[in-house]
Amino acid sequence: MPKIDNMLAILWMLRSGEKITAQQISEKLEMNIRTVYRYIDTISTSGVPIVSEPGHNGGYSLLNHFVEAPLFFDFEEQTSLFHAAVFAEEAGYYGGEALNRAISKLSKYSNQEQETKINHHVTSLEVVSRLSSFSMEPFLKELEQAVAEGYSVKILYHKSGEKQLNDRLIDPYRIIYWNNKWYVIGFCHLRNDIRSFRVDRMESLMLTENKFNRPENFSARDFFIESLLPRIEDKEGIISLVLHGDKSVLDDICQHWFLGHYLKERTSNQAVFLLEKEIIHTYVPYLLLPYNKSIKIIEPISLKKKMIEVLSELINFHEV
């Protein structure tokens, strides 16, 4: 039996509420009594309040308040949980209050040496995200409940580019966090199709009593990514986009959420993407502008001409 399993077995024996001797543990778990002593010391060092009473009627027991103690987490696991809490807080995670309670339990059942060591690592990490003045926690909590229990929700929604608010009835399939924003993917009864909705554009939200069944094998992630990418209508019209540049700059371009999906070949100083000509002319010039002279277009030549047109439009705009 692995070491951690043996320690958990000892802990469950101690949780019975009755005193138990090292000899009894040794016989029950079929291990050397010296090993039992080592495990008891390890468990105590981890912050578990074990009471040791010597003498004829002595033995080991737990303090009563340990009934709510968490499972064992080693140092790396505890540090990772604290770090995950930092990321969750910056993302506007809707379960922040519960997460803080869980984290406080880890702190409560850690000894001083452990807590000091963990704090050194926790304070070494900071996450900087975009600030948002709009709290979405109440909406996210209700949406998560609706997703988990399969209830439709009514929302008052502000669609991009429209001033008028829309009433929608949706069956929420999944909640997605992408690019510092929260989305819900689900079936829209108004459009009779699956849609994505930004949570920060919801003016109100109400759970209904209507139950729904989520379609089998539906991937909200795949649906969301496909909705972001332009649809390739003419596969025969696909051409190569060839870029030449510094390795670090090409790394950045190849990892771009849009262009990365169309990467075909890559060398240290060149990247080849396969896209429709119309898509290249519509989207790529604006993606490449921030890279200035660190990227050179090899193919297609028409993209070079399009870049000149875009730059000329910008010059004319700012000269006015």
Q: What is the pTM of this model?
A: 0.66
Q: Which of 18-27, 196-205, 208-217, 281-290 has the lowest mean pLDDT?
A: 18-27
Cα distance between residue 70 and residue 48, in whole Å: 10
pLDDT of residue 42: 84
Q: What six digits make up the tokens of 51?
A: 């009471």
In whole numbers, what is the pLDDT of the chain averaged over residues?
A: 85
Residues 221-233: tens digit of each pLDDT:
999 988 888 776 6
Which is more confident, 44 or 262? Answer: 262
Q: Report pLDDT digits (tens) over 100-139.
A: 777 777 766 666 777 777 778 778 888 777 655 456 778 8
Backbone angles phi, psi at 72, to 5 degrees: -70, 130
Q: Are 288 and 259 in contact (CB under 8 A)?
A: no
What is the model's pLDDT at position 312?
A: 93
Percent residues over pLDDT 70 in the chain: 91
Pick the closest to residue 178 from 150, 162, 199 (CA basis).
199
Among 55-64, 106-115, 215-224, which is the least confidently predicted range? 106-115
SS (H, E, C) the chain: CCHHHHHHHHHHHHCCCCCECHHHHHHHHCCCHHHHHHHHHHHHHCCCCEEEECCCCCEEEECHHHHHCCCCCCHHHHHHHHHHHHHHHHCCCCCHHHHHHHHHHHHHCCCHHHHHHHHHHHCCCCCCCCCCCCCCHHHHHHHHHHHHHCEEEEEEECCCCCCCCEEEEEEEEEEEEECCEEEEEEEECCCCEEEEEEHHHEEEEEEEEEECCCCCCCCHHHHHHHHHCCCCCCHHHEEEEEEEECHHHHHHHHCCCCHHHHEEEECCCEEEEEEEHHHHHHHHHHHHHHHHHHEEEEECHHHHHHHHHHHHHHHHHHHC
| Residue 315: predicted pLDDT | 92
Q: Give 168 or 93, the one with higher predicted confidence.
A: 168
Binning pLDDT at 50, 70 and 90, where does residue 72 land? Answer: low
pLDDT band, residue 251 (cuts 50/70/90) = very high
pLDDT of residue 171: 97
Residue in 214, 180, 210 with CA at minimum distance from that of residue 194 = 214
Q: Tell me, what's the pLDDT at 122? A: 76
Sequence-distant contacts of 109-115: CB under 8 A, at least 24 apart: 109/47, 109/48, 109/66, 109/69, 109/70, 110/46, 110/47, 110/78, 111/45, 111/46, 111/47, 114/46, 114/47, 114/75, 114/78
Contact yes or no for 114/47 (Cβ under 8 A): yes
Q: What is the pLDDT of residue 161?
A: 72
Amino acid 66: pLDDT: 62
Interval 154-211: pLDDT, tens: 999 988 777 788 899 999 999 999 888 899 999 999 999 999 999 989 999 999 999 9
What is the per-residue pLDDT for 69? Answer: 52
- Nearest-5° angle of CA 80, CA 180, CA 243? 100
Between CA 301 and CA 281 the distance in angstroms is 11
Highest-confidence range of 58-62, 78-82, 170-174, 215-219, by mean pLDDT?
Answer: 170-174
**Residue corresponding to tokens 């459009």:** 191
